[in-house]
């Protein structure tokens, strides 16, 4: 078995992702592994874009909406660092990613030589009502490194 040196946590602020972060921090305390927390900014759904367009939205409004989402997601990552990492004495690095959630996480894990991905059973997503846990299923199916699925 390979020594775990880098743990990647998929984080979206949901109860399940907070639990996954707690697990990753505890694993880090045992293994001295680096913890990397990522949040993926999904593309707006077709419905959201249609609603903005029908509401008279122009390119400036769409850019503003994207910037608002990025600021909120950055704040979410900063809260993860202060609420969990600093409290338990573990340094956390963060990254905001864009695109398909599972694909972005897997690509980031390859680029950063992660040894383990830690994820909750489900989270906040565009299709959450229809496909509970679809990102988690995709990570487990497509990742070439182990994926630890943490239940709430």
In tens, the pLDDT along 48-63 reads 666 666 666 566 777 7
Q: In Å, how far from its chain's centre is CA 9?
A: 6
Predicted confidence band of residue 77 (pLDDT cuts 50, 70, 90): very high
Segments making up each domain of the chain, as ranges:
6-150
Phi, psi at 97, each rounded to 5°: -115, 165
Residue range 6-150 in CATH 3.40.50.720: no
In tens, the pLDDT along 21-54 reads 999 999 999 999 999 999 998 766 556 666 666 6
At residue 1, the pLDDT reads 60
Sole residue written with tokens 């409004």: 61
C-beta neighbour count of 22 within 10 angstroms? 15
At residue 127, the pLDDT reads 44
Cβ-based burial of 74 (10 A; exposed 0-12, middle 13-18, buried ≥19)? middle
* pLDDT averaged over every residue in the chain: 84
Closest CA to 5 of 106, 115, 88: 115
Question: In the chain, pLDDT over 90 holds for what percent of residues?
Answer: 51
Judged against a pLDDT cut of 60, whether residue 140 lies above it is answered with yes
Predicted confidence band of residue 108 (pLDDT cuts 50, 70, 90): very high
Phi, psi at 74, each rounded to 5°: -65, -40
Judged against a pLDDT cut of 90, whether residue 7 lies above it is answered with yes
At residue 46, the pLDDT reads 54
At residue 130, the pLDDT reads 41
At residue 20, the pLDDT reads 94
């Amino acid at each position: 078995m390979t020594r775990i040196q880098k743990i990647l946590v998929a984080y979206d602020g949901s109860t399940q992702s907070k639990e996954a972060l707690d697990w990753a921090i505890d694993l880090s305390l045992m293994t001295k592994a680096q913890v990397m927390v990522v949040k993926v900014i999904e593309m707006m759904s077709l419905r959201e874009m249609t609603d903005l367009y029908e509401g008279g939205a122009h390119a400036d409004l769409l850019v503003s909406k994207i910037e608002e989402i990025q600021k909120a997601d950055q704040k979410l990552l900063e809260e993860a660092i202060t609420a969990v990492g600093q409290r338990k004495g573990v340094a956390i690095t963060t990254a905001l990613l864009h695109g398909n959630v599972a694909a972005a996480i897997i690509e980031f894990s390859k680029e950063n030589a992660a040894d383990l991905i830690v994820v909750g059973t489900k989270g906040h997503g565009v299709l959450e009502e229809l496909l509970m846990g679809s990102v988690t299923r995709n990570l487990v199916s497509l990742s070439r490194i182990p994926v630890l699925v943490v239940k709430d």
